[in-house]
């Protein structure tokens, strides 16, 4: 354990000694339409910040928050995710450790904490484009609304694509498949598709769709969940 901690600490110490530090990120605001048990209207906020040194070591923090109002009702449903990732990127390889906290009242998830260790490889040689395949091992602890706790181990496989249609238009797509090691037939599938239109050097219009499938959801929760998000993004 001490050796692992020391190995992780070396890159962090090198970051602290680096004179030139580079920050980048984005702040998004949007209005979303979601269909689950009922049609809902959502307010969406995404904040992402990335810290990099020599384009090799990356620390990425992301907060994605949704405030959801059911049509014709006053109840609010909260859903969101907070993520912290530490990665080493070099010659197409991305080796990373990821810590995530997820909550989704509409799917009966009060808290889901997960830690993942994995890699991906980008086979595209075109600058600012991506075709990457990845694998990671994830440990999860989930707490439902009625206080039921479950522990799971999952293997995640990912396919990520970034394609530039023109100078100001970009398409991002990610697909993830997550089977449960111990329960045959228990898997999750998540697909995201983003259309990004650059308005100027700082602002983008983003049309985002998210599709989730869970083969074993909580009782009374549908297997399929999707969102459509329209937002304005400020990049810095």
Give the tokens for residue 171.
Answer: 């398409």
How many Å apart are CA 61 and CA 85, to the nearest integer?
7
Enumerate residues 6+ apart whose C-beta is below 8 A from 133: 120, 121, 123, 157, 158, 159
> Is 10 strand, coil or helix?
helix
Q: What is the longest distance spanned by two Cα atoms in the chain?
A: 56
Q: For residue 118, which of 81, 86, 92 has the smallest C-alpha distance?
A: 86
d(CA 10, CA 14) in angstroms, rounded, equals: 6
Q: Which pLDDT tens digit goes with each residue over 80-111?
A: 999 999 999 998 999 999 999 999 988 899 99
Per-residue pLDDT at 75: 66
Q: What pLDDT score does 73 carry? A: 61
Residues 156 and 129 sit within 8 Å (Cβ to Cβ): no
For 236, half-sphere exposure in the C-beta direction (CA atoms, 13 angstrom radius) is 10
Low-confidence ranges of the chain (pLDDT < 70): 1-21, 32-40, 70-76
Q: Give pLDDT, residue 172.
A: 97
Considering only CA atoms, give the Rg of the chain: 19
Stretch (H or E) spanning 63? strand 57-70
pTM metric for this prediction: 0.81
Can you tell me the distance from the alpha carbon of 131 to that of 133, in angstroms, rounded to the nearest whole number? 7
Which residues contact residue 9 at a Cβ distance below 8 angstroms, ignoring those fewer than 6 apart? none
Q: What are phi and psi of 106, to 5 degrees?
A: -65, -20
54 conformational bin, left if phi > 0, alpha if psi -120 to 50, beta if neither: left
- Let me know if 158 is exposed, middle or buried by CB neighbors in 10 A (0-12, 13-18, 19+): middle
Please report which helix (H) or strand (E) contains residue 14, including its range: helix 2-17
């Amino acid at each position: 354990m001490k050796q692992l901690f020391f190995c992780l600490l070396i890159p962090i110490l090198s970051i602290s000694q680096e004179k030139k530090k580079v920050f980048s990120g984005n702040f998004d605001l949007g209005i979303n339409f979601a269909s689950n048990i009922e049609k809902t209207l959502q307010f969406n906020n995404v904040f992402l910040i990335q810290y990099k040194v020599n384009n090799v070591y990356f620390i990425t923090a992301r907060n994605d928050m949704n405030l959801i109002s059911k049509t014709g009702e006053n109840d609010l449903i909260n859903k969101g995710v907070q993520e912290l990732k530490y990665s080493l990127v070099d010659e197409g390889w991305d080796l990373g450790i990821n810590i995530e906290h997820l909550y989704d009242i509409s799917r009966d998830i009060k808290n889901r904490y997960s830690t993942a260790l994995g890699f991906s490889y980008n086979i595209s040689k075109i600058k600012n484009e991506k075709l990457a395949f990845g694998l990671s091992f994830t440990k999860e602890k989930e707490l439902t609304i009625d206080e039921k706790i479950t522990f799971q181990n999952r293997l995640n496989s990912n396919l990520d694509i970034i394609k530039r249609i023109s100078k100001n238009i970009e398409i991002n797509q990610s697909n993830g498949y997550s089977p449960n090691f111990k329960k045959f037939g228990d898997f999750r599938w998540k697909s995201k598709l983003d259309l990004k239109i650059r308005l100027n050097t700082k602002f983008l219009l983003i049309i985002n769709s998210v599709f989730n499938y869970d083969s074993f959801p909580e009782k009374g929760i549908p297997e399929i969940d999707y969102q459509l998000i329209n937002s304005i993004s400020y990049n810095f």
